[in-house]
Structure 1
Amino acid sequence: MTLRRFYKRIAIISALLVIAISSLTLTEFKIGQFERGGNGLLGLELGLDLQGGSHLVYQAVDSETGEPIIPRQEQMDSLKQSIERRVNASGLGEPIIQLLGDNRLLIQLPGVRDTKRAKSLIGETAQLNYKERTLNVARKIPGIEPGSLLNVSAIDLNETITDVTTNQSTLSNTSSSPMPANLQPLPGLLLEFSDEGAIAFSNLLTRLETSILPLEGTNDRYPSYLTIQSDNSTEMPLQISYRPLLMNPTTLEWMTSNTAPLINKADSKNSFIINLSVQYASKDTDSIMESFTSEFGGSPETIQLGEIIGRVDQAIPGGLTGEDMDRAFPGQHQTTNLPIINIVFNDEGARKFGEITTKLANTPDLLVIELDGQELIASRVINPITNGAAYIEGGDFTYERVQDLALLLESGRLPLPINLIQERTVDAILGSDSLKRSLVAGLIGLGLILLFMILYYRMSGVIAAIALIIYATLLLGIFKLLPVTLTLSGIAAAILSIGMAVDANILIFERMKEELRYGRTVPTAINIGFNRAWSAIRDSNISTLITCGVLFWFADTLGASIVKGFAITLAIGVLISMFSAITVTKTILQLLGMGILGKKPMIFTPFSPKSINQKNNKE
């Protein structure tokens, strides 16, 4: 070996050490666009199991059925980029996002404690839709044809009612005491339908009951009504909801009472009883039943039944969507100071928005804005909006929620919907405890190895200890510069790679020991020992690298991030251990072998070479 090559290796090792030590000394550093630094020891990036955080796995699904699908690779790449933009802009930290297989996405958020907010930012598709909501749409009851109503009777609900067709009691007074003489009559209708008509009327009751429930995600109610019109009456048709409705004087919202339904199934087949006491509450008590009977006591042909649908949502003509939006940013309402989302449309969106607001202006109908199918706002339009700017406000809006929604809209909708299929949260205290225990285990293991090497191999062991310290420094420097996110499995792999580095040194030292026992000089024993040990070191490390590749492939396919981190860290450790054993250890040994220590082979091996020489002479 020439001195030039020897000095070149020393220069390379020294340069690598300077770079590694410099990177580890600075917690954070930036050189141009190259920026490194983390929140862990020495500025290393720590994974979920060491600093706490959220582990989320999402799967691509069909937008209509919700079933898993296999999207195109371009869609998954676009999905990954969209989520990265959202999380980075939200201030939640830098996510670790990996594609798993064909349709899954692994998202790790180290240090994130607001898991609910993170899932909202990641999982919402951010599909903005605009709808036109028409209120109180009248129509015929589906399935109720002429002749479906067989009989109609005007009744007093306070009295015992007998079905005129079956001669059976359909409503009775359950009180054992006689009815008070001055009890106000409760007008009602007894309707009897054909079999098909009864089914259609039952379906109507289901729709009426559902309509009085608040719309999902809001406090808004849009009750539907049964309408009854008699040919014998000149008044407007009666409108009956499923239950009595009250208007909240403060919020001007509908409220339902806990009273019994106004429309009930009677005891007799295909018959229904309708309570009209609300509609006739303002009538004169003495003449209430007389006027009621005259209006509704005729033949069924004089009665017309109908339905008023509380709300009908339909897409805006021209297809106004989130694609027509140019900008979205949070703000405050000038009057109420409540948080709002400001929206600025592009030219095409401004035209569409102007057309729909012109159509809805000064009408009872509403403009509805939905995000991912959930209603954000349903508002009346006072004046046309033609300047291409609007805002969204909501009763449950907070400043943080407004910022997140504006971010979702600004970053654009996800290219395809995703469902959360796996979630794991690691407490920060547990992660900190795991890190301390891992460091203690690593230091104890390293100390025991160094002690064994020094006691058994003497000077060679000291050199191996120095090489291991250099190896550990280079390994940590590589972890920070790449960067590698350290996890518990990664630390285990790093400790294992230290053992493998020691194994390479042991192979070299054993070959050196054999040569020294046969009387070789120290420099010669070093060269021969390395040459003979190289094939075993090479083959074992290549086998380990192949195993790491197999582990990485299976972990990447199955989404086992723990195994994947172990494989990557072990592979890096193996490569650096080969460099440490073949370059660092050999260079230090050769440096010492050329000096005065090279004339004392006894300090490089636990056995005396003289005994071997004497044995060889005897033979």
Structure 2
Amino acid sequence: MSTFLIIWLVASIIALAATIIMQAERRVVELVLILSLAAFATWVSLPNNPGLYIDINGDGVGEIDRDVEIRQGLDLAGGVQVLLETDLDEGQALPDGALDEARRIIESRIDALGALEPVVQVRGERRIIVELPGYEDPESAVELIQQTALLEFVDFGPAANSLPLLPGTPVETNFEGRPDSEIEDIAEEEPLVPAIEAETVFTGDIIQNADIGFDPTTNEPVVEFSLTPEGRQLFGDYTAANVGQPLGIVLDGILLSAPTISTAITEGQGVITGQFTVDDATQLATQLRYGSLPIPLRVDSTSTIGPTLGQISIEQSIVAGVIGIIVVMAFMLIYYRLPGLAATLALLIFAVINLAIYKLVPVTLTLPAITGFLISVGTAVDGNILIFERLKEELRAGKRIGPAVRAGFDRAWASIRDSNLSTIIICFVLWSFGTTFGAGAVRGFAVTLALGLAINLFTAVIVTRTFLHFLLLPVPEKTIDEQPWLFGLTKKAA
């Protein structure tokens, strides 16, 4: 755990304990919590943040161990864009739902790559577009997207024990699901190694889950898998009937390994070895876990979007955001005076809480997402304006400052709540639309706007009211006749 986080937690606990012991007012407790939250959010928002590390058990393994940084989308960070097209004969019809199923599988594989906010969407009747923000290796991305990862468990027949079953040996099977050209391609790549004929017993369809593991003896990467209930029964029956025989594990026509069956395997779990690197094992596990593509796809185009445009966009967005916030703060201070000061402080806390959540969730920032944040700043100010106008009405009606502040917040709350919640509902509709149709820009806009609106319900009411309470402590029982300048009023109350 970082030193700053420890200090913050200890200080917060001490402050809260002292508050309770002294039986302080509820506003003091609120102020302590608000300032503590603001301090933590500011720390998270700082550039080059060291990240969060919390070791609860004290065993040296952090239960919480993660980087805290801004994730940028394709338009800001650059990345890879791949356009795929179905590779079918002219006039051949697509099976119903095949393109959507291919999109789902590709999206699952891309998620395993660690790409930030990947966009995988269907374009037209035969195309799929894939966008990988922050990804710098287009070749491996294309390979993972296209590869079908045909895994076969094969039987080499009676002469199995006399065959040279070495990893990397081409294997020709009777499985009809493999394209005819695949063995020819293998032969071209490995011309000095003759292919071994074998009979396919099972395919990767019997695998329910797969993940990377490490051999406890050699510490080499392996792929651990578990079987479906049906696959467990088939695997158990086959291994029981073939004890002492090798079982070949073949990936895309290449022998990975051929372990000898020493006993019946009925637990429904197994390990694939094959002199993998960590990346190879991870990729194979991903392909087995998410299945093969239902239709062949070819790459129509691949483009790498550089970070230069992204950097320019970031700088322009930051400048626009800073200018906008400064103008809003200046307006609030000039027009509303003391309440405007409270709103300005609340707006600063609103901004750092938003940024902290973007880092912690994390939220991928794109230009539409930044637009959503800037609009949420406007809604935050709208809430304060509504409150302060109601406050002025109460003051003009002759109420003292303290009761007028309470009445202004209480009567404006319902309008602020209803307007923000209705917009959040619209954001949910936009997010659903973006998720269903692969419109990542719409989804990013909806997420940041909804977060801003939710945070505004806290900052515009609770934070602003708490700050205003302490700013007005010297004058709670005065009337607007005595202090008109505090609220930007020039006329005395009637």
**Which residue of structure 1 aligns with residue 147 of structure 2?**
124
- Percent of pairs with identical residues: 32
Aligned to 1:364: none
Show the counterpart of 2:28: 7
State yes or no: 1:540 paired with 2:419.
yes
Aligned 8 A contact 2:109 2:144 in 1:
no
Which sits farther off after the overlay, 477-486 or 504-513? 477-486
Residue 220 of structure 1 deviates from its aligned partner by 7.5
Q: Which residue of 2 aligns with 1:448?
A: 327
- The question of whether the paired residues in 2 share the 8 Å contact of 1:516 and 1:609 is answered with no
Aligned to 1:590: 469
Confirm or deny that 1:426 pairs with 2:301.
no
| 2:79 matches 1:53 | yes
Quote the offset at 1:27 in angstroms: 4.0
Which residue number corresponds to residue 571 of structure 1? 450
How do residues 87-236 of structure 1 correspond to structure 2 at under 5 angstroms? 87=113, 93-96=114-117, 109-129=132-152, 131-132=171-172, 215-216=184-185, 219=188
Do structure 1's residue 457 and structure 2's residue 311 form an aligned pair? no
Q: 1:59 to 1:500 in 2, by over 3 A?
A: farther
Distance in 2, Cα, partners of 1:35 & 1:66: 49
Q: CA deviation at 1:588?
A: 1.2
Q: Of Structure 1 and Structure 2, which has the larger fraction of its residues in strand?
A: 1
Pick closer, same or farther for the CA change 1:435–1:501 going to 2, 3 Å. same
Equivalent position amino acid for 1:22 in 2: W
Give the structure with the higher percent helix.
2
Q: 1:33 aligned to 44, 63, 85, which one?
A: 63
From the superposition, tell whether residues 34 and 58 of structure 1 become closer, same or farther in structure 2 (CA, over 3 Å). Answer: farther
Aligned counterpart, 1:409: 284
Correspondence 1:67 to 2:88: no
Q: Are the counterparts in 2 of residues 126 and 408 from structure 1 also a CA contact under 8 Å?
A: no
Aligned pair in 2 of structure 1 residues 121, 6: CA closer, same or farther (>3 Å)? same
Give the gaps of 5 or more residues in structure 2: 1-22, 55-61, 153-169, 175-179, 215-220, 226-234, 262-270
| TM-score normalised by structure 2 residue count | 0.65
Name the structure 2 match of 1:203: none
Work out the CA distance in 2 between the residues paired with 1:560 and 1:390. Answer: 38
Determine the C-alpha separation between the residues in 2 that align with 1:66 and 1:216.
27
Q: Distance in 2 between matches of 1:460 and 1:121?
A: 57
- Output aligned runs, 1:465-504, within 5 Å: 465-504=344-383
1:35 & 1:96 partners in 2: Cα distance? 21
The structural deviation recorded for 1:453 is 1.2
Deviation at 1:575, TM superposition (A): 0.9
Show structure 1 runs of 5+ residues with no match: 88-92, 135-210, 222-250, 254-310, 331-340, 358-367, 378-384, 394-398
Partner amino acid for 1:110? P
Q: Give distance in 2, aligned partners of 1:514 and 1:442.
A: 32
- List aligned pairs for 1:598-613, cutoff 5 A: 599=478, 601-610=483-492, 613=493
Q: How many residues align?
A: 399
| Secondary structure of the structure 2 residue equivalent to 1:591 | helix
1:316 corresponds in structure 2 to 198
1:520 CA drift (Å)? 2.3
Aligned CA distance change for structure 1 residues 409 and 462 (closer, same or farther; 3 Å): closer
| Conserved? CA contact 1:98–1:105, under 8 Å | no
Mapped contact 1:106–1:559 kept (Cα < 8 A): no
Does the C-alpha gap of structure 1 residues 480 and 536 become closer, same or farther in structure 2, counting only changes over 3 Å? same
CA shift, 1:369, in A, is 6.5
Aligned to 1:522: 401
Give the match's secondary structure for 1:531.
helix
- Contact 2:334–2:340, Cα closer than 8 Å, also in 1: yes
Aligned CA distance change for structure 1 residues 447 and 321 (closer, same or farther; 3 Å): same
One-letter amino acid of the structure 1 residue matched with residue 74 of structure 2:
L
Given that residues 95 and 108 in structure 1 are in contact (C-alpha distance below 8 angstroms), is that contact kept between their aligned partners in structure 2? no
Aligned to 1:16: 37
Deviation for aligned residue 1:322: 6.2
Letter in 2 for 1:50: L
TM-score with structure 1 setting the length:
0.53
- Residue 316 of structure 1: CA displacement? 2.2
- State the match for 1:245 in structure 2: none
Match of 2:268 in 1: none
**1:444 offset after TM fit, Å?**
0.7
Asked which structure has the greater CA Rg, the reply is 1
Partner Cα distance (1:595, 1:60) in 2? 74
8 A contact 1:517–1:608 mirrored in 2: no
Taking a change above 3 Å as real, the CA distance of residues 505 and 49 of structure 1, as seen in their structure-2 partners, is: same
| Amino acid corresponding to residue 601 of structure 1 in structure 2 | Q
**Following the alignment from structure 2 to structure 1, what is the Cα–Cα distance between the partners of residues 212 and 444?**
39
Q: CA separation of 1:344/1:44 partners in 2, compared to 1, >3 Å: closer, same or farther?
A: closer
Cα separation, 2, equivalents of 1:553 and 1:327: 30
User: Structure 1 residues 81, 609: closer, same or farther in 2, change over 3 A?
Assistant: same
